[in-house]
């Protein structure tokens, strides 16, 4: 492509040096000479040299002329933009603007989003025969209009009001939305289809982009606002409290810090929750995430909110230097032991279990409440941190439903399947839980007259909890364990066999641990009363580890990121949604939507279509916090590395016409051709001079 194609006419001037060479060749004067012998001998020596000199000089001169002409013609390298303001043909255009958090990164004092806004506005200028629409692509992409319109003013106004959000971008949904808008109305629709994507093309979001949803004749113009050099960034990805955070126990706080810079950094994170503050310091190697952790003690019961903040500042993305946290300090754990065995019956399975659950009366020891199945009610289940069932006898369906409801509300369950009736109970429980938990095995009682006795373990997961608490000698410790009672188990196809933590020599499962999204269920398929496990030193540590495994999930509630939808069952009992109120962080807008509370099946469900700004959101009852979540932007938004033009054009976009432009580069386009052609011309002239000097006579 040439800027001044008319200049090519002057390529004919390349013949001038040749013409000059031949026209100015001196006309030789005819001169007789006595003999040509000497002349010929000398000329033979010098003719090749002179011929070379003439050829080189001619080439240099001709090339110089050609290069000058080309320099004037101004060839343009690379492609032309697919979307042009000068086109007059009918067209429909969708401008897709990435509003994810990564665009709040600052490069050269300017947010990337400002470049994006300017680039998008340029594509929303009025032009006859053009209809356009604007898609703001975040976690939930949103189009300004349902269909492309000619109301460019409204589109630009919306663009001017738009800001980046603490979200990632759902690329697939955004592209699908654009494809719908660009789809031809009918067979007669021959308009030019244009999709302009304005983004930093962050690798975390765009690496999985699928452009095949777009029609083949859609022209795709990629306006990149990515900085020329990768931006260095430090960001907090997540903060967690692990371990049972009780009033007596101390827990641990873990902070994931991503060092997306080229050098190792010493990072200090200040964690403040309630009245406690802790500074965590550590080295974070370049290019990856590092977890800093420390003991963390909260002295008061209930919910504590706070923030984890990077002491280092001044990186490209300030939004991820701070993350909200919410943690609940629980009172002393209460284990509800449901059993028909009398408390005075000793030795008995329930007795052994009770001793293992509460080995002593120290302050940190859970409180075990023993009850019979007939006395169990909803409130009792609500106050328990762990439900333990051992020798319950035959449980009626209502009781099983209560247990299932409690599990759905987040209560973990440890079931010792010792008797034949436990098989029925397990079946009912599994049925009531539905798809909440899928047990990897089904249980059935032994045929009459048969039962398990002196059964050893064939296999166990020694490197997983709870068995890893036994240390390196686990195999030796387990070798003389003998179990009795329990049920026959059969594996269920298409379930997680990893949930079977130990297996008997007869092939039945010994210990199962399954998780649901709200709770956990562990089944110990044995009668402790006729097993020798309670007499082994490993019994108490094993039960302790198992109960910790069951109860610590209570501290972890998977909360979606900003922009995503939320649905969580509140871990409260005996309240209705009318008595509860949702309170947002101070940074949230006063009229921002905070979701809604609904009553369902005796629980309160909090539904929020799109989580708002980062911070702590609390559900309060009479000003007291009963539940809290800390939301943040997705961790991947901290990784600011972007996809290159080559990857976008050649690997992701296939089958469509595509043009990539660096929209962030506001400098005048450097015209390398002019420079190189001029340099080439000068080089030819100098080359000619050098030739004449070298071959001078």
Partner 1 sequence: MIAQRSRFLDLAALAALERKRFSPKRRIEGSYSGRHVSRVQGGSGEFVDYREYSGGEDLRRVDWKVFGRTGKAFVRLFQDETNLLCTLAVDSSASMKFGEAPRSSGAKRAKSKLEYAQWLSTAFSHIISHGQDQVGLAVLGSELRDWLPPGGTSSHVARIQELLERIDTIPTMQMSRSLLQLFERSPGRGVLLLLSDLLMEDLQETFAALRLFRHRGWEVVILHLVHPDEERLPPGVAFCFQGLEGEGEVICSPAEIAVQYETRFAAFLAMTRQFALSAGCDYRLVNTAVPYLHTLGDFLIERSG
Least separation in angstroms between residue 37's CB and partner 1 is 7
Residues 198-227 vs partner 1: string with x where CB under 8 A? ------------------------------
Which three-class secondary structure string do you get for 200-218? CCEHHHHCCCCHHHCCCCE
User: How many whole angstroms separate alpha carbon 391 and alpha carbon 368?
Assistant: 16
Instruction: Indicate the residue among 40 and 85 with the shorter CB distance to partner 1.
Output: 40
Shortest reach from residue 25's CB to partner 1, in Å: 8
Find the shortest distance in angstroms from Cβ 12 to partner 1.
29
Nearest to 339 by CA among 422, 412, 401: 422
Give me the 11-50 binding string for partner 1, x by CB under 8 A, dash otherwise.
--------------xxxxxxxxxxxxxxxxxxx-xx---x
Q: Of 33 and 624, which has the nearer Cβ to partner 1?
A: 33
- Rank residues 145 and 695 by Cβ distance to partner 1 and give the closer one: 695
**Residue with smaller CB distance to partner 1, 27 or 228:** 27
Distance CA 614, CA 533 (A): 49
Tokens 């990164």 appear where?
Answer: 105
Nearest C-alpha neighbor of 165 from the set 140, 132, 190, 193:
140
CB of 54 to partner 1, least distance (A): 12
Q: Which is nearer to partner 1, 32 or 586 (CB)?
A: 32
Q: How far is the CB of 59 from partner 1 (least distance, A)?
A: 21
Closer of 25 and 228 to partner 1 (Cβ): 25
Compute the least distance from the CB of residue 45 to partner 1, in Å. 7
Task: Give the whole-angstrom CA distance, residue 305 versus residue 262.
Answer: 33
| Neighbour count for residue 660 (Cβ, 10 Å) | 22
DSSP secondary structure of 117-139: HHHHHHTT---TTEEEEEEEESS
Q: Which residue in 286, 282, 289 sits closest to 230, CA to CA?
A: 286
Residue whose token pair is 């051992």: 390
Q: Contact letters (x/-) for partner 1, 49-88, by CB under 8 A?
A: -x--------------------------------------
Task: Say whether the peptide bond before residue 466 is cis (omega within 30 degrees of 0).
Answer: yes
CA distance 566 to 609: 6
Tell me how far, at minimum, the Cβ of 76 lies from partner 1, in Å.
46
Task: Count CB neighbours of 221 within 10 A.
Answer: 23
> What torsion do the CA atoms of 415, 464, 534, 422 make, to the nearest 10 degrees?
20
Q: Which is nearer to partner 1, 27 or 435 (CB)?
A: 27
Q: Give the nearest distance from C-beta 691 to partner 1 in angstroms.
A: 15
Residues found in the chain = 697
**Shortest Å, Cβ 38 to partner 1:** 5
Of 43 and 496, the one with the shorter C-beta distance to partner 1 is 43
Report d(CA 583, CA 491) in Å as an integer.
Answer: 46
- By beta-carbon proximity to partner 1, the closer residue of 6 and 22 is 22
Number of residues that bind partner 1 (CB under 8 A): 23
Measured CA to CA, the distance from residue 436 to residue 420 in angstroms comes to 24
Nearer to partner 1, 50 or 76 (CB): 50
Minimum distance between the CB of residue 14 and partner 1, rounded to whole angstroms? 26
Residues in 666-695 at the binding interface with partner 1, rule: CB under 8 A:
none
**Nearest approach, Cβ of residue 17 and partner 1 (Å):** 19
- Rounded to whole angstroms, how far apart are CA atoms 429 and 412? 13
What CA–CA distances, in Å, run from 167 to 141, 213, 290, 593?
Answer: 11, 23, 22, 16
Q: CB-wise, 45 or 344, nearer to partner 1?
A: 45
Pairing of strands 413-416, 386-390: parallel
Task: Give the residues lining the site for partner 1 (CB under 8 A).
Answer: 25-43, 45-46, 50, 697
């Amino acid at each position: 492509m040439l800027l001044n194609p008319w200049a090519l006419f002057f390529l004919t001037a390349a013949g001038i040096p040749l013409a000059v060479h031949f026209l100015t060749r001196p006309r030789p004067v005819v001169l007789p000479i006595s003999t040509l012998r000497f002349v010929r001998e000398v000329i033979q020596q010098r003719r090749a040299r002179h011929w070379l000199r003439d050829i080189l000089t001619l080439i240099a001169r001709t090339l110089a002329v050609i290069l000058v002409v080309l320099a004037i013609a101004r060839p343009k390298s690379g492609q032309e933009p697919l979307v042009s303001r000068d086109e007059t043909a009918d067209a429909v255009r969708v401008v897709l603007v990435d509003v994810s958090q990564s665009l709040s990164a600052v490069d050269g004092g300017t947010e990337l989003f400002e470049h994006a806004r300017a680039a998008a506005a340029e594509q929303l200028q009025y032009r006859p025969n053009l209809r356009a629409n604007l898609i703001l692509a975040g976690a939930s992409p949103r189009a300004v209009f349902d269909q492309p319109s000619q109301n460019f003013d409204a589109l630009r106004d919306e663009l001017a009001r738009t800001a980046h959000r603490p979200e990632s971008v759902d690329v697939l949904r955004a592209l699908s939305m654009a494809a719908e808008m660009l789809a031809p109305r009918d067979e007669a629709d021959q308009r030019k289809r244009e999709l302009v994507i304005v983004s930093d093309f962050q690798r975390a979001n765009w690496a999985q982009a699928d452009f095949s949803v777009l029609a083949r004749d859609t022209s795709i113009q990629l306006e990149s606002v990515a900085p020329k050099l990768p931006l260095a960034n430090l960001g907090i990805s997540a903060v967690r409290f692990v371990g049972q955070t009780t009033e007596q126990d101390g827990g641990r706080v873990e902070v994931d810090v991503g060092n997306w810079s080229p050098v190792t950094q010493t990072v200090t994170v200040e964690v403040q929750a309630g009245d406690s503050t802790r500074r965590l310091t550590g080295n974070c190697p370049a290019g990856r995430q590092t977890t800093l952790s420390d003991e963390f003690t909260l002295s008061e019961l209930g919910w504590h909110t706070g923030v984890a903040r990077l002491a280092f500042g001044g990186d490209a993305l300030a939004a991820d230097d701070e993350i909200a946290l919410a943690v609940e300090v629980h009172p002393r754990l209460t284990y509800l032991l449901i059993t028909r065995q009398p408390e005075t019956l000793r030795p008995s399975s329930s007795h052994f279990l009770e001793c293992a659950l509460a080995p002593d009366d120290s302050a940190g020891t859970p409180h075990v409440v023993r009850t019979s199945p007939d006395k169990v009610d909803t409130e009792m289940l609500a106050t328990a941190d762990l439900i333990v069932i051992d020798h319950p006898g035959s449980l009626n369906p209502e009781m099983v439903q209560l247990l299932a409801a409690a599990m759905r509300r987040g209560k973990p369950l440890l079931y010792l399947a010792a008797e034949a009736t436990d098989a029925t109970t397990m079946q009912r429980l599994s049925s009531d839980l539905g798809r909440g938990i899928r047990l990897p095995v089904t249980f059935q009682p032994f045929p009459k007259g048969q039962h398990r006795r002196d059964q050893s373990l064939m296999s166990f997961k020694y490197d997983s909890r709870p068995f890893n608490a036994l240390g390196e000698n686990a195999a030796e410790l387990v070798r003389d364990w003998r179990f009795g009672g329990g049920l026959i188990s059969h594996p269920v196809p298409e379930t997680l066999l990893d949930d079977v933590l130990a297996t008997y020599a007869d092939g039945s499962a010994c210990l199962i641990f399954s998780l649901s999204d709200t709770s956990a269920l562990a089944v110990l398929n044995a009668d402790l009363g006729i097993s020798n496990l309670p007499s082994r030193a490993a019994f108490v540590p094993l039960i302790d580890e198992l109960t910790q495994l069951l109860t610590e999930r209570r501290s972890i509630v998977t909360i979606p990121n900003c922009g995503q939808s939320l649905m969580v069952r509140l871990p409260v009992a005996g309240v209705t949604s009318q008595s509860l109120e949702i309170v947002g962080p101070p940074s949230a807008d006063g009229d921002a939507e905070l979701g809604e509370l609904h009553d369902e099946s005796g629980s309160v469900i909090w539904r929020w279509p799109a989580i708002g700004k980062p911070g702590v959101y609390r559900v309060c009852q009479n000003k007291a916090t009963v539940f809290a979540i800390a939301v943040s932007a997705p961790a991947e938004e901290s990784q600011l590395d972007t996809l290159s033009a080559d990857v976008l054009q050649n690997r992701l976009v296939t089958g469509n016409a595509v043009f990539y432009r660096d929209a962030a580069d506001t400098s005048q386009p450097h015209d390398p051709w002019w420079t190189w052609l001029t340099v080439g011309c000068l080089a030819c002239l100098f080359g000619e001079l050098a030739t004449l000097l070298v071959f001078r006579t």
